Amino acid sequence: MSSQFSMKSYMKGALLLTVAALIVKVLSAVYRVPFQNMVGDQGFYVYQQVYPFIAIFVTWTAGGVAVAVSKLLADTDNIERQNGIAKVVFQYLTMLSFIFFSVLFFGADRLAQWMGDTNLAPLLRTGSFVTLFMPILAVMKGRFQARAMMKPVAYAQVFEQTVRVTVILVGTVIVIGIASQPVYAAGNMAVLGTVIGELTGVILLLWYMKKKKLLFGTAEILPKWPIIKEITIFSLSVSMSSLLLLTFQLVDSFTIFSMLLESGIPVVEAMETKGVYDRGQPLVQLGVVIASSFSLAIVPLVAYKSKKSVSSEFPYIQLTYRASLIFGVAASLGLILVMPYINTLLFKTDSLTLVLILYVMQIIPLSIVLTFTAILQGYGKLKMPSLFLMSAFVIKLIGNTVLVPLLGVLGAAIASNTGLLVCAAALLLYIKKIKGIRLAEGVFYRQLAGASVAMIVVLETAAIIMRLVLGYEAGRMESMLYSAVLIVIGATTFITAIAKMKLLSEREWFIIPLGRRMAAYQLWLNNKK
């Protein structure tokens, strides 16, 4: 392996891709708020019904397949062999992309019928074109990553997401505000935004390929099946944690609306109910960004340290777990406490606030699932985590089937939380078993509970005082004031509590990106230099 794969360049590249991924996640969550405001809950339902179909292919290509390609290419320095591998992968993905395209394009009517809304068929046909970009995107990203050239990949991810969000929002303004088209037309425009975003990503990467002179040359003829087998298994294993929430949303698309109709709820009301339920998705996305961004940055250190000496990575695994839990609890509990105000502020009404409170609880197990599947992948442990993630999907499917007819969308939220909790618990038990590591002491959990109680008491007291002094009429301006004040109070209380109790040491804060200020605050709070 050449010197370009030194730890320094690896960490720089990993950090760059992490930052790009976080920007993409934030954009993906944030644009949904103005989009929902323009199209309403019914229009949001339309888009969210089709979104999982499209996002699954984009995520699998940009994540799992690209990583799998980079791994295969990085295992050899022979250029002709690399070209041979890339050629086989491209041919295989081209075949898959045409199969997926045919299923979505020609099977759109049947899929829409299964979801209970035949008007969704045109959106599925528009989205089907995303699958055609899979082969070229995966191979190009894989080639760049294999050579530790992370900038083109990172820039392409951010650029294609920016274009996508711009097309969605501007297009929706034109379709709804100017042309006064129905919400299905706005949904189709939103899906088209994803297709255009992927196309711009392809164009940018092709430009980089030409600039870096990475165009294909003579290719060695290689046996296809071993390459196809490794690409398939490895890509699915690597991307499965990222795909988990999307598969949950896919289950919701096929079950919630149709089951609400079967229970006797009118069509428009069922659409709006599903649309309100889907408000929780961007909130969870933002919560996971806050909860896992710090801990995800530690994962490359775990992989590196594990190769240096036995158990030298254990402190980093423990830190990753504690950081995930701390920020997961903070994000989830904070959203729960201000949900009535946040719901009105962002989405105009406080509909189904209880359901959304239950929905955002999944931030805690999800942040653990994302970080610990990444750690286990660093160890080369792919089989068991994949089984745990598949089990979570099965629990979600069974849970929706049983609970939605009984409890409506509340049952869907319960099913999601149950699947994620079981998966998170299984992952933690598994890593304890294979590594014999204790992730946290009992005092850590007691202190975390104490910080949580402190935030609840202070924030609820502040809310009561504000209502007595200012009153509350459930309007957006009032909700903005309450949200801003309570978020600041809640965050300050929680941060002060965990700093005073030293849930993480100053040294551990320094390891976490942007943790220096927290370390300084903790030192000041405890009267230390």
Fill in the DSSP letter of residue 118. G
| Confidence class for position 294, pLDDT limits 50, 70, 90 | low
Contact status, residue 497 vs residue 451, Cβ threshold 8 Å: yes
Angle between the N-to-C axes of helices 363-378 and 409-435, in degrees from 0 to 180, rounded to the nearest 10 = 30
Three-state DSSP at 10 gives helix
Record the tokens describing residue 161, joined without a space: 């997401």
First to last CA, the chain: 44
What is the rounded radius of gyration, in angstroms, for the C-alpha atoms of the chain? 24
How many whole angstroms separate alpha carbon 52 and alpha carbon 66?
20
Nearest to 244 by CA among 138, 364, 386: 386
Contact status, residue 219 vs residue 258, Cβ threshold 8 Å: no
Handedness of CA 242, 17, 15, 498 (dihedral sign): negative
Fill in the DSSP letter of residue 75. T
In this predicted structure, the answer to whether residue 210 has a pLDDT above a threshold of 70 is: yes
Summarize pLDDT for 368-426 with one digit per residue, the tens.
998 888 788 777 787 888 899 999 999 999 999 999 999 999 999 999 999 999 999 99
How many whole angstroms separate alpha carbon 359 and alpha carbon 353?
10
Hey, what's the torsion of the CAs at 403, 404, 406, 408, to 10 degrees?
130
Q: Average pLDDT, stretch 80-89?
A: 83
Contact status, residue 41 vs residue 178, Cβ threshold 8 Å: no
Summarize pLDDT for 150-174 with one digit per residue, the tens.
788 888 888 888 999 999 999 999 9
**pLDDT value, residue 445:** 93
**pLDDT value, residue 21:** 73
Nearest to 484 by CA among 353, 344, 341, 343: 341
In this predicted structure, the answer to whether residue 214 has a pLDDT above a threshold of 50 is: yes
Summarize pLDDT for 478-496 with one digit per residue, the tens.
888 999 999 999 999 999 9
Angle between the N-to-C axes of helices 363-378 and 383-407, in degrees from 0 to 180, rounded to the nearest 10 = 160
Residue ranges of alpha helices (H) inside 348-408 are 353-360, 363-378, 383-407
In this predicted structure, the answer to whether residue 195 has a pLDDT above a threshold of 70 is: yes
- Which segment of 40-44, 178-182, 213-217, 242-246 scores lowest on mean pLDDT? 213-217
How many whole angstroms separate alpha carbon 137 and alpha carbon 140?
5
Q: Where are the domains of the chain?
A: 1-248
In this predicted structure, the answer to whether residue 8 has a pLDDT above a threshold of 60 is: no
| Confidence class for position 230, pLDDT limits 50, 70, 90 | confident
**pLDDT value, residue 4:** 41
Q: Could you tell me the pTM of the whole model?
A: 0.88
**pLDDT value, residue 306:** 60
Q: Give the residue, 147 or 309, on which the prediction is more confident.
A: 147
Could you tell me the CA-to-CA distances from 493 to 234, 292, 335, 486 in Å, in that order?
43, 20, 15, 10
Q: Give the residue, 484 or 26, on which the prediction is more confident.
A: 484
Record the tokens describing residue 427, joined without a space: 């992952």
**pLDDT value, residue 504:** 87
Could you please report the per-residue DSSP string of 190-216? HHHHHHHHHHHHHHHHHHHHHHTT---
Q: Average pLDDT, stretch 305-325?
A: 75
How many whole angstroms separate alpha carbon 270 and alpha carbon 252?
13
- Which segment of 85-94, 395-404, 447-456 scores lowest on mean pLDDT? 85-94
Nearest to 282 by CA among 363, 201, 355, 164: 363
Helix, strand and coil content of the chain, in percent to the nearest 5, comes to 85, 0, 15
